[in-house]
Amino acid sequence: MALPATTESCWRQGEISGQRVKRTFQVKVKWNSALSGTSDFMAEKNLTLVTEFLLIAFTDYPQQAFPLFLLFLFIYLITLLGNLGMIILIHVDRRLHTPMYFLLSHLSFMDICYSSVTMPQMLAMLLELGAVLSYTRCAAQFFLFTFFGSIDCYLLALMAYDRYVAVCQPLLYVTIMTQKARLGFVAGAYIAGFFSALVRTVSAFTLTFCGTNEIDFIFCDLPPLLKLTCRDSYTQELVIIVFAIFVIPACMVVILVSYLFIIVAIMKIPSAGGRAKTFSTCTSHLTTVSLFFGTLIFMYLRDNSGQSSEEDRVVSVFYTAVIPMLNPLIYSLRNKEVKEALRKILKRAKLS
């Protein structure tokens, strides 16, 4: 006896639903067997693998998006113009063809690259109220940011060593800080930065990210990425920390030891005017070091548990946007040689 069309349709739908339930049950069994050796934290987490990331920083305040866009656009333009102007000034004026300004020109170049990794994306994110990054693009951004940031640290340490030689061994300064030595120091900083960034990137992106793909941050950085992991990340985090030690703490040791010797040498100068004049050659570098390493220590060498995302965003904006803008201003306003070179260039421009 033939079944009515309606009854046959219902029977087929029931059969399909049964097959779906069976498949769902089989998938759950497979997931449960895969999770048998993992922690309860993994089992409780949503195991949807993340293939792209959604940056949602500042999306809670849509009415402030455009004013923030204008503010950060102004900061980015000042960063580009200030650091590019510093590079051109050092290249044009022969009085600035010294080891310290050679290192400063590379620091300015790194600041341009450093801010360009994050600022254009942050501007787009403010206009579109969010940004979607593929897994590959997020990894590339993390690598470039770590690469340029590591070189910044090494260059600041080299500049501290340069000040140490200039103050403590002035008669040997020319023989120690030769052009060959300067090129070797900078090449070493670039190579060390590359390998540090490569190891940290590989370690970070061999982790499995699952659950939500939302990053309440302005770019793909390590602290927010670690919050998305769904497996035991102890080994990768250990590798990341070990290589981070060779960047921030190691550079800080070089800077602290250099300035310890500098302070001892300055205290031996009999006249107060001589002490002030000698110390004035280090103030610009000290200011830059304090701002840069202070924010890095606050961001990376602390316990991130219980810290608010808003607090992290403010700190990240400071060291990715504000500090690269301030560096050329610090060196131009607090350095007589740079100010004199700038006046000379402006005078030539007026006469022409």
Mean pLDDT to the nearest integer, 36-54: 55
Across 38-52, 103-117, 200-214, 254-268, least confident range: 38-52
Whole-number pLDDT of residue 228? 80
Mean pLDDT to the nearest integer, 229-234: 72
- What does the alpha-carbon distance between residue 309 and residue 217 come to, in Å, rounded to a whole number? 7
Query: What pTM does this model have?
Result: 0.81
Mean pLDDT to the nearest integer, 175-191: 95
| DSSP β-ladder status, 214-215 and 131-134 | unpaired
Please choose, from the candidates 324, 325, 122, 318, the residue with its C-alpha nearest in 3D space to the C-alpha of residue 217.
122
Amino acid at 220: C
Per-residue pLDDT tens over the stretch 198-216:
988 988 888 778 777 788 8
Amino acid at 199: V
- What does the alpha-carbon distance between residue 122 and residue 219 come to, in Å, rounded to a whole number? 8
Across 136-140, 158-162, 210-214, 316-320, least confident range: 210-214
Question: Please, what are the domains in the chain?
Answer: 52-300+307-351 (1.20.1070.10)
Torsion sign across C-alpha atoms 294, 298, 300, 303: positive
- What does the alpha-carbon distance between residue 194 and residue 164 come to, in Å, rounded to a whole number? 26
Confidence of residue 7 (pLDDT cuts 50, 70, 90): very low
Please give the backbone phi and psi of residue 215, each rounded to the nearest 5 degrees, phi first.
Answer: -115, 115
pLDDT at 292 over 70: yes
Contact between 255 and 161 under an 8 Å Cβ cutoff? The reply is: no
Q: Which residue has the higher pLDDT, 134 or 37?
A: 134
Please choose, from the candidates 198, 221, 197, 50, the residue with its C-alpha nearest in 3D space to the C-alpha of residue 122.
221
Q: Give whole-number Cα distances, 224 to 140, 179, 351, in Å.
A: 16, 42, 54
Whole-number pLDDT of residue 233? 67
